[in-house]
A and B are shown apart, each in its own frame.
Chain A
């Protein structure tokens, strides 16, 4: 059977969904992470709990949320609390299993920049800033990053460290005493990057039809390739159908090439 065509966003979203486990408590952002969580809930992780930084717990959005505080997150949720509560009782206390992160730059050790390009005091490009990501990166037990694979997004070192990955090495993150394990997988449109024993991101899997030289060309440092490079499982018709027909029928997040 011929494989169904799909967009880069669909590819990343489905691969991110597969990283989630049944029963995970996930700190969700809008866009692809939200779709990935809803897909996981409808496939292999029916007991996944979605928590939003606006203070919503156990959300069951009936429509696709267009902002982090969309009213559809509240109607039918199991609880609503203040932002102070969500960041302290839930995240800081250790009640969040998974955090999703993104940013303008992700470096060799999984550190993320969402703050500025150039000098902080005289920014060349002023980005939105941390929002919730500084604490999510530190305190969620596992973090996943979804990002298109482009050289400008993967510099050797971030201009500004908004959220900590492994800093300069895994030992350095461990010494900082933060509770979370750090970024465990970066999902791109070419494949999956995972930290090696030193915390350096390494290519561990390619998507069907993607090549190692594409990854090299689009990464800003000489990226290591895992000895046993895997290929990600092909997207299934069921996964694509749930995404397209149920979760994002207008293609708001899925149509883009990512």
Chain B
């Protein structure tokens, strides 16, 4: 069954005020266009979970959509601070819940696997554990030693950007896989944004590359360049210049608001945003192809 709809329709149907939202992607495939659509639709009181909140959550927090963040690294990768989230946390205006990367990813693994909790070996660094009651210990029933545990994370809705998917939602990703698969299986609703919607035959020609199967997908939105200023492996490069610029833009509230007005509220969708970036930026982010050797699945 086709689940194809516009991003506007998908956000309207599945992202509600007060939801726990997970926009997936570790540096790669971050669904910025979906973040912008959520801002345009004026969602409020969201709990935003991501290992690395990145610029996408700095923007959602700046637009007043969030009441809480759950994270394991709040920096602007390769640049420095996420100024908006950092200043909201320092001012006590934003709730937070914090893990290490492994703790955060383990929560998703437990959530995806339907487990009540998941154990991790001890790290000897206990300050985070003392400040986050979700991080606990149990005795390993086999060795009698203590292990550290975290509970499952089950977002209300996940948004996952991919290179290609069919209309039913079978989604293929290559390049950095981050936590996409775990987030998809852990979440109650799954929105796939994709660079391309391809024929089912393309997907079935290479089933090992399908990370997310249609049976857990609720919506499929064709959104080329959705990940800008992050990147899509093989489609366009990371816009490192924008990551640096964001650090400048967010120095003042006025400049941040002006940016939101121009680039989020001022455009109607991802396509208009991409066109507005202009030919020079498109050219700068182009990548030349490097194809994998084909594999032979055989006819049986």
**CB within 8 Å of B: which residues of A?**
30, 53-56, 66-71, 73-75, 80-84, 87-88, 91-92, 111, 115, 120-126, 128-135, 137-139, 160-164, 167, 173, 176-179
Contact = CB atoms under 8 A, between A and B. Distances in A.
Contacts of B202: none
A161 B100 CA distance: 12
Nearest to A173: B124
A138 B290 contact: no
Q: Which one of A55, A82, A125, A162 has the highest number of Cβ atoms from chain B below 10 Å of its Cβ?
A: A82
Nearest to B180: A82
A174 B43 CA distance: 49
Given A130-B100, A135-B101, A135-B102, 20 more contacts: A55-B178, A66-B240, A69-B28, A71-B287, A81-B177, A82-B180, A84-B179, A84-B182, A115-B127, A124-B90, A129-B100, A131-B52, A131-B100, A132-B102, A134-B102, A134-B128, A162-B128, A164-B123, A176-B124, A178-B121
B231 interface: yes
17 contacts: A55-B176, A66-B240, A67-B77, A69-B178, A81-B177, A83-B26, A83-B177, A83-B178, A83-B179, A126-B86, A128-B81, A131-B52, A132-B102, A135-B100, A164-B124, A176-B122, A178-B123
Contact of B89 (A30, A73, A126): A126
Q: Taking chain A's interface residues, is the majority helix, strand, or loop, or is none over half, making it mixed? A: loop
A187 to B, nearest CB: 21
A161 to B, nearest CB: 5
B36 interface: no
A139 B179 contact: no
B133 interface: no
Contacts of A130: 72-73, 98-101, 128
Question: 5 closest A-B pairs (Cβ-Cβ)?
Answer: A69-B27, A128-B75, A164-B124, A131-B73, A138-B123
Given A84-B109, A123-B90, A67 B27 contact: yes
B68 interface: no
A167 to B, nearest CB: 6
B90 A125 contact: yes
Contacts of B109: 84
Contacts of A67: 27, 77-78, 238, 240, 243
Interface in B165-192: 174-182
Contacts of B238: 66-67, 70-71
B131 to A, nearest CB: 5
B177 A82 contact: yes
Given A68-B27, A71-B28, A87 B125 contact: no
B1 to A, nearest CB: 28
Interface string B226-241: 0000010100011010
A161 B126 contact: yes
Nearest to B80: A128
Contacts of B106: 84
Interface string B55-69: 000000000000000
Nearest to B25: A69
B121 A122 contact: no
Interface in B31-77: 51-52, 71-75, 77
B123 A135 contact: yes
Given A129-B98, A130-B72, A163-B125, A84 B105 contact: yes
B145 interface: yes
A122 B287 CA distance: 44
A251 B102 CA distance: 32
Contacts of B243: 67
Contacts of A132: 100-102
B258 interface: no
B92 interface: yes
A184 to B, nearest CB: 16
Q: Which one of A56, A87, A125 has the highest number of Cβ atoms from chain B below 10 Å of its Cβ?
A: A87
B120 interface: yes
B127 A160 contact: yes
B95 to A, nearest CB: 11
A45 B73 CA distance: 31
Nearest to A71: B233
Contacts of A88: 102
A134 B231 contact: no
Contact of A138 (B101, B125, B233): B125
B122 A128 contact: no
Contacts of A120: 127, 131
Nearest to B211: A82
B73 A177 contact: no
Contacts of B126: 161
A54 B52 CA distance: 11
A138 B124 contact: yes
A71 B175 contact: yes
